[in-house]
């Protein structure tokens, strides 16, 4: 259990550029020994799993529906929840850091649940937040997959040593 | 079942001004016959339930924990979920419009789940969102409790006639 | 919050005799001021809600799906969970006693979750249990709707005084 | 994803004999290449994970609480749900066969959810069920860990070929 668990979150529909980013994030997480957790479906989730698989990494998909067949083909461990969106909470609670790439309201809900629980969120081209017109800086920006993975793994490590 | 269901969401800790807003929102919802749904705890939730109760309205609290005693004293119908934050999804899915007052990341998760499901969100001094540096205008701003309740009930009505 | 909450559980498909029992249970719960909680769908749930409604009682339906329209027409307060069967846990945790009528494996899961949480279960023509060939007597048998409601409300009262 | 996923369910408190059975079931599942899913805590869950780990198998723990540290030391992949007992639904939906050893009402809820979803349940010294005084034969009895694992894996295989 001293493995590092990192979630990659983002839309089931995404741009080509976002796909490229997610795949590279997946590859780098796997190379550095982290286990990838995601929502198990298409788009960003599939791209990240594909990248991780190509480097021999482990991929976990927390599925919203009732059917393990709905997992993308790069998910090695499908968890079947039947909980719909409530599974978003499980995705973020099961990891020590989250990398958000693009995404819509589902992704925003995962970002929120992560921040609520003190789980660090690294953002690549994703949401930014203001509250009462004050910028909220909780989402840690990254400019590249490498920077995102570096920051995520650093934050996992610092959490662990502080445990 | 032709009753209108409206959620009031916001922090379990809040400012005096937010308390005042929530109580007034609760009062007006009750006066206009809407059923109030909330997360059942303190702060904004308690203030809204207090306002609604003072006008003879019905209040429902979707509790995160295991114990109905955790509900604030103005909750008439406590729903005990034991689901932790995953109960946030139930709060918003059980209503036809959401009024967000202030709030932190838990509130933001509820806003996100609502928008994801096409449930209108009216905001009073709450989050504002940008995606990829473009402002997202999905949260409908209101300047007063009256305006918030007007907008919420209008949107419920227009949904119903479009069903 | 000093109202009594009682769940009526059983199959969404049931015999005519079971329908009659459920409707009578619903009627008696309403007459005696208890609030009826159920899974919100057809069969036993619909019959119990119909009975309770006919006596002016309050009915709550904890729905498994995404759509309030799926509630039976006698549900006054639909709670939309989108959690599938996981909503069974909410049905039993939200009450102080459970009356089980007939039922299949879904009902058995609700009986189990109730017993696990120390919530009394009254059974009318329902499951019986043995563990390692020893009869488990936790389900309290009743021979009629009146006896079931009597026993359920007695147990709610004794819990309350012991609180 | 052509791996076989099998759940081992049972109490977090159990007898020495049940511990022995669970450990042997875990060992045999691992030897035969199946991935073990369980509730992640102590008792039967820990014994099964210990057995599987000793043979180099993969173990997944679907945790009820908020804290990955609550997993037993043989869980390699902790899934943190914070859903309390509602996580029982995930344990059984994530597998293709269930082996129940001993157990109390929590285990019975998992058996029920599995049977409700057509997921085969093999029983070792566990619950037996009757409905309206008719014996329900859905739980497939086994007399030894070997027989339980044989039956479970046979049923997974026959499901797969029928897909």
Which of D93, D98, D163 is the best substitution to test chain A (most A C-beta atoms within 10 A)?
D93
pLDDT value of position A19? 98
Q: CA C71 to CA C81: how far, in whole Å?
A: 12
- How deeply is D45 buried, as exposed, middle or buried, from its count of CB atoms within 10 A (0-12, 13-18, 19+)? buried
pLDDT tens profile C117-158: 999 999 999 999 999 889 999 999 999 999 999 999 999 987
Measured between beta carbons, which residues in chain C are less than 8 angstroms from residue B58?
Answer: 77
CA atoms within 13 A on the CB side of B133: 3
Distance, C-alpha D143 to centroid of its chain? 16
CB contact under 8 A, D130 and C130: yes
pLDDT tens profile B17-55: 999 999 999 999 999 999 999 999 999 999 999 999 999
The bridge status of strand B59-63 relative to strand A140-141 is unpaired
pLDDT tens profile A25-43: 999 999 999 999 999 999 9
pLDDT tens profile D37-75: 999 999 999 999 999 999 999 999 999 999 999 999 999
CB contact under 8 A, B81 and C60: no
Which of B81, B87, B88, B119 is the best substitution to test chain C (most C C-beta atoms within 10 A)?
B81
Comparing CB atoms, the residue among B109, B125, B127 nearest residue A109 is B109
The DSSP line for C8-71 is EE--SS--HHHHHHHHHHHHHHHHTTPEEEE-SSSTHHHHHHHHHHHTT--EEEEESSS-GGGS
Q: CA B25 to CA B58: how far, in whole Å?
A: 13
**Using beta carbons and an 8 Å cutoff, which residues of C are at the interface with A?**
66, 82-86
CB contact under 8 A, B105 and A112: yes
Quick one: closest CA in A to B141, which residue?
A: A132
Quick one: closest CA in B to C160, which residue?
A: B69
pLDDT tens profile C86-115: 999 999 999 999 999 999 999 999 999 999
pLDDT of D146 strictly over 80:
yes
Measured between beta carbons, which residues in chain B are less than 8 angstroms from residue D83?
Answer: 82-84, 86
Please name every residue paired with C126 in a beta bridge, in sequence order, or none if there are none.
Answer: none
The order of strands in the sheet holding B134-136 is A134-136, A127-131, B127-131, B134-136
CB contact under 8 A, A83 and C83: yes
């Amino acid at each position: 259990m001293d493995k590092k668990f990192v979630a990659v979150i983002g839309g089931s529909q995404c741009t080509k550029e976002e796909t490229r980013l997610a795949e590279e994030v997946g590859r780098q997480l796997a190379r550095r020994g982290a286990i990838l957790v995601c929502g198990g479906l298409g788009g960003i989730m599939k791209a990240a799993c594909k990248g991780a698989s190509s480097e021999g990494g482990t991929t976990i998909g927390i599925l919203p529906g009732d059917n393990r067949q709905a997992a993308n083909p790069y998910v090695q461990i499908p968890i079947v929840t039947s909980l719909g969106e409530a599974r978003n909470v499980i995705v973020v609670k099961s990891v020590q850091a989250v990398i958000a790439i693009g995404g819509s309201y589902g992704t925003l809900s995962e970002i929120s649940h992560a921040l609520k629980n003190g789980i660090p969120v690294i953002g690549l081209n994703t949401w930014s937040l203001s509250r009462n017109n004050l910028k909220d800086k909780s989402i840690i920006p990254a400019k590249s997959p490498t920077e995102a993975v570096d920051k995520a793994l650093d934050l996992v490590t610092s959490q662990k040593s502080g445990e």
